[in-house]
Amino acid sequence: MASFARSIRLIAGAWALLLILTASAPSIAQQSQINPTASSVRERQLLQEFDRIQGRVSIPDQRSSVLIQPAGREWREFRTVALRWVGGIAILGMLAVLVIFYLRRGMVRLEAGRSGRTIVRFTTFERFVHWMTATCFIVLAISGLNITFGRPLLLPLIGHEAFSEWSQWAKYAHNYLSFPFTIGVVLIFLMWIAGNIPNKVDVDWVKRGGGIVGRDHPPAYRFNAGQKAIYWIVVIGGGLVAATGYELMFPFYLSGIEGMQFAQMVHATVALLFMAVMLAHIYIGTIGMEGAFEAMGSGTVDVNWAREHHSLWLEEENARAEANARPRPAVTAAE
Ligand code: HEM
C-alpha cells in the first residue's frame, strides 16, 4: 500500500513538472529568438519617428506627461557647447581686435583742433532715450552673460549660495529692464529713422575707409554708414531679442517647447553678437574718437568735429540756421 501511494505521488509530481514546463515553453522558445539589441533598436526608431515620448498623467498639466523630447538633447548641446564657443569668440575676439586697433591707430584726433564754437547734435530727449536704452542694454547683457556663462565660470569662484542669490537678482533685472529696453528700441527706431536710410554718400564713405581706418574725412550727413549700420543692428537685433525674450518670459503662451527652444537659440545668439557689436560702438564713442562722446554727453559738438566727420550735415544745419535768421518778408497792404 505504501509503495502504491509513493507511485501516485511520483506520477502527480511528474504531471506537475510537465505542466510547468509546457506553460513556460513558449516564452523560453521566444526568448531564444530575441535579438538582444532589439529593444534599444526599437527605442531609437521611436525617437526618430516621434518628436516626443509621452506617458499618461492624472494631474491637470498634461505637459508633464512628456518623458523624452529628443530635440531637447540637441538643444542642450547647443546651449552648453556651441553657444558658449560662439559667444566667447565673438566677444573676446572683438575685444582683441579693438585693443590691437587702438594700439596701432590710436584715438582719431580732431585734425583742425577745436574751433571753440559748438553746434547742437542731440536734443535732451534723444540723449535720454539713448542712455536709458544703453543702461538697460548693459544690465541685460551682464545678467544674460550670467545665464550663459555663470555656471561654469562664476559659480566655482563665488560658491553656490552667493551664485544663487546673485543669479536671482540678475534674473529679476533681466525680466524687468526688458520693458524700458523695448520702449527705447521703439523710440530709437522712430526718432532716427529719417537720418538712417542708406544712400549713395554711404557707398563713398565706406570706400574711403570711413575716416577711421585711414586719415581721410569722407563727407556724411547726420549719420554716416557706420552709424547707420549700428542703428539697423539695434533696431533689428533689439526687435529680435525682444520678441524671442518675451516668448521665453511667458512660457507656453506663444509657442510649445520646440518654439521656445528655437526662441532661446535666436535670443542667445543674437544677444551675444549684439554685445560684440556694441563693444565697437562704445569704443568709437569713447577712446576711439576725440570729441565724439560730447555728442551724447552734453548734446553739442565742436564745429570742427562736425566739419571733419559730418560735413554735409553741418552744411544742412548752417543753411537751416541761415533760413531761420533771415528776416521774413513784410506783409504787404494787398495781402
Ligand atoms: C525685451 C528684451 C529682452 C527680454 C524680454 C529678454 C528675456 C530673456 C529671457 C526670458 C531669458 C531666459 C532666461 C532664463 O533662461 O531664465 C533671456 C536670456 C538671455 N538674454 Fe535676454 N531678454 C531681453 C533682452 C536681452 C538683451 C538686450 C540682451 C543682451 C544685451 C540679452 C541677453 C540674454 C542672454 C545672453 C541670455 C541667456 C541665453 C542663454 O544662455 O540661455 N537679452 N532673456
Place 180 in a pLDDT band, splitting at 50, 70 and 90.
very high
Tell me the CA–centroid distance for residue 322 and ligand 1, in Å. 48
* Binding site membership of 242 for ligand 1 (Cβ less than 6 Å): yes
Tell me the CA–centroid distance for residue 49 and ligand 1, in Å. 33
In this predicted structure, the answer to whether residue 18 has a pLDDT above a threshold of 50 is no
Tell me the CA–centroid distance for residue 235 and ligand 1, in Å. 16
Take residue 156 and report the three cell numbers written for it.
Answer: 566655482
* Binding site membership of 149 for ligand 1 (Cβ less than 6 Å): no
| Confidence (pLDDT) at 42 | 66
Q: What is the mean pLDDT of residues 218-246?
A: 97
Packing angle, helices 200-207 and 225-249, rounded to 10: 100
Strands 118-120, 66-68: pairing kind: unpaired
* Binding site membership of 268 for ligand 1 (Cβ less than 6 Å): yes
The beta-carbon contacts of 204-211 under 8 Å, at least 24 apart in sequence, are 211/108, 211/308, 211/309
Q: For residue 321, give the nearest of 125, 117, 127 by alpha carbon.
A: 117
Report the SS3 class of residue 104: helix
Q: What is the pLDDT of residues 97-120, one digit of tens each?
A: 999 999 999 999 999 999 999 999
Lowest mean pLDDT among 23-32, 135-144, 207-216: 23-32
Residues listed for the chain: 335
pTM of the model: 0.83
* Binding site membership of 271 for ligand 1 (Cβ less than 6 Å): yes
Query: One-letter amino acid identity for 47?
Result: L
* Binding site membership of 90 for ligand 1 (Cβ less than 6 Å): no
Query: What is the residue-averaged pLDDT of the chain?
Result: 87
In this predicted structure, the answer to whether residue 8 has a pLDDT above a threshold of 90 is no
| Confidence (pLDDT) at 331 | 56
Q: Give the mutation target among 85, 140, 181 for probing the ligand 1 site: most ligand atoms within 8 A of CB.
A: 140
Tell me the CA–centroid distance for residue 148 and ligand 1, in Å. 9
Which residue has the least CA distance to atom 9 on ligand 1?
245
Q: For residue 276, give the nearest of 93, 148, 149 by alpha carbon.
A: 93
Q: Give the mutation target among 79, 133, 147 for probing the ligand 1 site: most ligand atoms within 8 A of CB.
A: 147
The angle at the Cα of 263, spanning 77 to 182, to the nearest 5 degrees, equals 135
* Binding site membership of 185 for ligand 1 (Cβ less than 6 Å): no
Tell me the CA–centroid distance for residue 254 and ligand 1, in Å. 16
Place 21 in a pLDDT band, splitting at 50, 70 and 90.
very low
Q: What percent of the chain has pLDDT over 90?
A: 72
* Binding site membership of 136 for ligand 1 (Cβ less than 6 Å): no
Q: For residue 297, give the nearest of 127, 167, 80, 71 by alpha carbon.
A: 127
Q: What is the pLDDT of residues 148-177, one digit of tens each?
A: 999 999 999 999 999 999 999 999 999 999
Place 215 in a pLDDT band, splitting at 50, 70 and 90.
confident
Lowest mean pLDDT among 5-19, 36-50, 182-196, 214-228: 5-19
* Binding site membership of 267 for ligand 1 (Cβ less than 6 Å): yes
| Confidence (pLDDT) at 149 | 98
* Binding site membership of 234 for ligand 1 (Cβ less than 6 Å): no
Partner residues linked to 108 by β-bridges: 289
Place 40 in a pLDDT band, splitting at 50, 70 and 90.
low
In this predicted structure, the answer to whether residue 1 has a pLDDT above a threshold of 50 is no
Distance CA 189, CA 202 (A): 19
Better-predicted residue by pLDDT, 325 or 231: 231
All domains of the chain, ordered by start, with CATH? 120-317 (1.20.950.20)
| Confidence (pLDDT) at 330 | 61
Q: Give the count of alpha carbons within 13 A of 59, CB side only.
A: 5
| Confidence (pLDDT) at 229 | 98
Q: What are phi and psi of 17, to 5 degrees?
A: -60, -40
Q: Which atom of ligand 1 is nearest to the CA of 242?
A: 1
| Confidence (pLDDT) at 186 | 98
Better-predicted residue by pLDDT, 209 or 132: 132
Tell me the CA–centroid distance for residue 267 and ligand 1, in Å. 6
| Confidence (pLDDT) at 61 | 86
| Confidence (pLDDT) at 198 | 97
Contact between residue 196 and residue 228 where contact means Cβ atoms under 8 Å apart: yes
In this predicted structure, the answer to whether residue 213 has a pLDDT above a threshold of 90 is no
| Confidence (pLDDT) at 29 | 37
Report the SS3 class of residue 317: helix
Q: Which position has the grid cell 537751416?
A: 320
Partner residues linked to 53 by β-bridges: 68
Tell me how crowded residue 303 is: count the other CB atoms within 10 A of its CB: 18
Distance CA 233, CA 206 (A): 17
For 258, the enclosing helix (H) or strand (E) is helix 257-285
In this predicted structure, the answer to whether residue 220 has a pLDDT above a threshold of 80 is yes
Tell me the CA–centroid distance for residue 91 and ligand 1, in Å. 16
